[in-house]
């Protein structure tokens, strides 16, 4: 190990800790005969449209997440928009969202006619309850915490705040298939939550999404929206529900997701095991802090393994760290380049919103200075591979002074 630490960085012509060409990391998505059999069964049945497979997946996913109702849809983005529409918000109504998340968390609110209000994240990388409460105004109608990287936001405090102010909670659970808070899965910890099954996600059909809730009336409204405004028993040409759209998934998508779901619990356990190994292995690396857990989380899905790098304590910038780590064989990224309130899209919207005075220091620090993460597929490797990740990080830190002048 000492020879690895003292070796010259691959970025400077040395040998990498891991040669990805010879020993590649696990690929994603993973598939086997389960996907083939399910897809072939639907293909040969001729019944490709919104039937038994969709119903079976919805029931299975609701059960997996400890929810009563599941409404499938075409993407996590669509799920967010449908859930917000189902709240029947009016123009000028506000939904509080964190700025460290994918753009769809905020645009789902904006596209449905409401206004996203940004409140900072805390050291969990999730919505800061104190910042969220400070952002509440008479127009606030909902909180939308994001379970970033599968780390569940502080739902106890957020539910207390929501109850105190008469608000609802819609969870952006697009990173958290399998994460549990006090024994209950994400998605129905508030009024509802939405999930993504896009190509990078821990279960994937390329695209797809779902909305979970324990509220039967809310589920029926979401179903009506996704199914062109139909209601149960109304017939295919009778639209007496919500002003809807076609956000239905196909039987082929559902067949893929059923197969993916069948191995999710095993994969989640492996990711948790490997993440715990890494937490311990990296605990003494000065200036690098893995995303904190919470004892109230009784299971964590680990869509990402996020870390916060303090350049002064670590010895180099996070950009130089990431470049050196990638050269050593660790595919790592610096994540979101901008907090959402700095994204230019809001200036370009028909109903432009000026966020120039918004200040979210923690999210800004994560975007501009400290945030790094790698993908969940790496956590499906073995303990020896996790030891190599730790060795790469320690090697880079040992050589960090040589990286200070690099750009």
CATH code, domain with 124: 3.40.640.10
Residues 138, 100, single domain; the answer is yes
How far, in Å, CA of 255 to CA of 154, rounded?
A: 34
List strand residue ranges (DSSP E) for 199-328, in order: 209-213, 288-290, 297-299, 304-309
Residues 162, 17, single domain; the answer is no
Residues 100, 246, single domain; the answer is yes
Residue 24 structural domain: 2-29+264-403
Residues 150, 10, single domain; the answer is no
User: Is 297 in a helix, a strand, or coil?
Assistant: strand
Residues 372, 385, single domain; the answer is yes
Residue ending a domain, choose from 205, 236, 262: 262
Residue ending a domain, choose from 262, 284, 302: 262
Environment class of residue 28 by beta-carbon count within 10 Å: exposed (0-12), middle (13-18) or buried (19+)? Answer: middle
Residues 84, 211, single domain; the answer is yes
User: Is 360 in a helix, a strand, or coil?
Assistant: coil
CATH code, domain with 371: 3.90.1150.10
Residue ending a domain, choose from 245, 262, 279: 262
List strand residue ranges (DSSP E) for 187-266, in order: 192-196, 209-213
* Among the listed residues 181, 212, 264, 253, the one whose alpha carbon sits nearest the alpha carbon of residue 80: 212
The whole-number pLDDT of residue 240 equals 87
Environment class of residue 123 by beta-carbon count within 10 Å: exposed (0-12), middle (13-18) or buried (19+)? Answer: exposed
Residues 270, 171, single domain; the answer is no
Residues 219, 286, single domain; the answer is no
Q: Please give the helix or strand (H or E) that residue 397 lies within, else none.
A: helix 383-398
182 DSSP assignment: T
pTM of the model: 0.95
Tens-binned pLDDT, residue by residue, of the chain (407 aa): 445 656 899 999 999 999 999 999 999 999 999 999 999 999 999 999 999 999 999 999 999 999 999 999 999 999 999 999 999 999 999 999 999 999 999 999 999 999 999 999 999 999 999 999 999 999 999 999 999 999 999 999 999 999 999 999 999 999 999 999 999 999 999 999 999 999 999 999 999 999 999 999 999 999 999 998 888 888 888 888 889 999 999 999 999 999 999 999 999 999 999 999 999 999 999 999 999 999 999 999 999 999 999 999 999 999 999 999 999 999 999 999 999 999 999 888 767 788 999 999 999 999 999 999 999 999 999 999 999 999 999 999 999 999 976 54
Residues 92, 184, single domain; the answer is yes
User: Is 141 in a helix, a strand, or coil?
Assistant: strand
Residues 381, 268, single domain; the answer is yes
The sign of the torsion formed by the CA atoms of 87, 88, 91, 93 equals negative
Residues 295, 355, single domain; the answer is yes
């Amino acid at each position: 190990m000492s020879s690895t630490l003292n070796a010259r960085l691959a970025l400077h012509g040395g040998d990498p800790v891991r040669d990805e060409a010879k020993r590649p990391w696990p690929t994603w998505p993973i598939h086997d005969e389960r996907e083939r059999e399910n897809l072939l069964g639907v293909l040969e049945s001729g019944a490709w449209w919104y039937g038994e497979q969709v119903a079976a997946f919805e029931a299975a996913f609701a059960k997996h997440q400890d929810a009563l109702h599941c409404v499938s849809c075409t993407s996590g983005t669509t799920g967010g928009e449908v859930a917000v529409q189902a709240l029947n918000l009016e123009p000028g109504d506000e939904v509080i969202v964190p700025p460290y998340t994918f753009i769809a968390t905020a645009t789902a609110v904006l596209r449905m006619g409401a206004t996203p209000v940004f409140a900072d994240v805390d050291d969990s990388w999730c919505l800061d309850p104190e910042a969220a409460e400070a952002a509440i105004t008479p127009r606030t109608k909902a909180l939308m915490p994001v379970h970033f990287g599968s780390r569940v936001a502080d739902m106890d405090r957020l539910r207390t705040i929501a109850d105190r102010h008469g608000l609802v909670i819609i969870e952006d659970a697009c990173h958290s298939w399998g994460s549990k808070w006090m024994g209950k899965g994400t998605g129905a910890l508030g009024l509802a939550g939405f999930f993504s099954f896009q190509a990078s996600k821990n279960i994937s059909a390329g695209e797809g999404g779902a909305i979970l809730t324990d509220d039967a009336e809310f589920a029926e409204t979401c179903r009506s929206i996704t199914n062109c405004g139909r209601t149960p028993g109304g017939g295919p040409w009778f639209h007496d529900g919500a002003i809807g759209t076609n956000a239905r998934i196909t039987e082929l998508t559902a067949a893929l997701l059923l197969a993916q779901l069948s191995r999710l619990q095993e994969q989640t356990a492996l990711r948790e095991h490997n993440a715990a190994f890494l937490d311990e292995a990296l605990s003494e690396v000065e200036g690098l802090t893995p995303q904190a857990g919470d004892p109230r989380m009784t299971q964590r899905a680990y869509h990402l393994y996020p870390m916060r790098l303090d350049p002064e304590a670590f010895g180099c910038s996070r950009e130089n760290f990431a470049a050196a780590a990638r050269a050593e064989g660790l595919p790592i990224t610096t994540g979101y380049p901008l907090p959402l309130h700095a994204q230019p899209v809001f200036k370009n919207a028909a109903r432009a919103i000026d966020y120039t005075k918004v200040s979210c220091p923690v999210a800004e620090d994560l975007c501009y200075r400290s945030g790094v993460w790698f993908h969940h597929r790496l956590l499906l490797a073995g303990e020896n591979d996790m030891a190599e990740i730790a060795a790469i990080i320690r090697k880079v830190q040992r050589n960090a002074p040589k990286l200070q002048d690099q750009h």
